[in-house]
Amino acid sequence: MSEARTITTAEVAALLRVPGPHDDKYSRGVVGMITGSTRYPGAAVLGVEAALRTGVGMVRYLGPARAADLVLQRRPEAVTAEGRVQAWVLGSGMDAGAASVEEGPDAESAGRMRAALASGHPLVIDAGALDAVGSARGPAIITPHARELCRLTGSDLDAVLADPASAARAAADQLGVTVLLKGHATHVVAPGGPMLVARSATPWLATAGAGDALAGILGALVATHEAAGPVDLAHLARLGAAAAVVHGLAAQRASAGGPLTVLDVCAAVPATIAALLRSR
């Protein structure tokens, strides 16, 4: 078994960037999101909602037209024009091979995804972008659930579920990226780095779209940090664990012991962050 340490709420609170009087929307950080697809547009809405609720200077949403329309209906704050970003979230709500699509309504966002992968900016790589991890030029954190990790590394599902810490570490070493392996406990590790575990989640979070929200929370945290200086793989691991804790605590708040929807979790993120900030 791999050594693992539960990240504390004090560590998470210390990783939250608070805007100051001299900040503007660009100095706070811009997260670019190429998520959602014509088949799964809802994932784009959830990720954008989560990123905005986490606090970031701007969300630049560059996915397919159907998803962009829904994102704008829900969140007119989102900017759908190309421009500079500090960090990218790629692949939530997309089928495997999304970066290779060359025809149809999702081809333009596939091209944008290839450009983001080659940009050198930090990357949050989820769902349909996971198989493109080899073309990431910047530091990357991948966010698979156990089945996705197995598809990516060829490992056995029972072995991953029995020892997720070792599976996450092996994947990080094999792929040369930071790995955030989702589950009841979420394991996060950079190649050669310490294993961090987030244990704040409630099983009510086992619902479709919860992972799309996690990617948005993480993307916002990465963009706000990258805006202050370059983020490396070890830093991505700390931010990944912090995002999972915020996500889990927001789910506890949204649940209050009962069922939740993913938009409820997103709505609970600002109060969750405010409570963490009060504790520092």
Ligand X SMILES: Nc1ncnc2c1ncn2[C@@H]1O[C@H](COP(=O)(O)OP(=O)(O)O)[C@@H](O)[C@H]1O
Ligand Y SMILES: NC(=O)C1=CN([C@@H]2O[C@H](COP(=O)(O)OP(=O)(O)OC[C@H]3O[C@@H](n4cnc5c(N)ncnc54)[C@H](OP(=O)(O)O)[C@@H]3O)[C@@H](O)[C@H]2O)[C@@H](O)CC1
Q: Which residue ranges are tagged as binding site?
A: 43, 93, 145, 182-186, 211-212
Which residues, 6+ apart, have CB-to-CB distance to 126 below 8 Å? 35, 89, 90, 91, 92, 142, 143, 144, 211, 212, 215
Subset of residues 164 to 183 that bind ligand X, contact rule: CB under 6 A: 182-183
CA distances 119 to 139, 175, 237, Å, are: 10, 19, 20
127 binds ligand Y (CB under 6 A): yes
Minimal CB distance residue for ligand Y: 42
For ligand Y, the closer CB: 57 or 211: 211
Cα angle at 235 between 88 and 273, to 5 degrees? Answer: 75
Please choose which of ligand Y, ligand X, none residue 147 contacts, taking the beta carbon within 5 to 8 angstroms, the exact cut-off set by kind: ligand Y
Per-residue binding letters, 202-231, with ligand X (x by CB under 6 A): xx-xx-xxxxx-x-----------------
> For residues 52 and 54, what is the distance between their CA atoms, to the nearest angstrom?
5
Length of the chain counted residue by residue:
280
| Contact status, residue 41 vs residue 67, Cβ threshold 8 Å | yes
Minimal CB distance residue for ligand X: 211
Please choose which of ligand Y, ligand X, none residue 186 contacts, taking the beta carbon within 5 to 8 angstroms, the exact cut-off set by kind: ligand X
Subset of residues 141 to 160 that bind ligand X, contact rule: CB under 6 A: 145
Q: Among 54, 109, 186, 224, which residue interacts with ligand X (rule: CB under 6 A)?
A: 186
3-state secondary structure of 196: strand
**Binding residues for ligand X, per CB under 6 A?**
145, 182-184, 186, 201-203, 205-206, 208-212, 214, 247
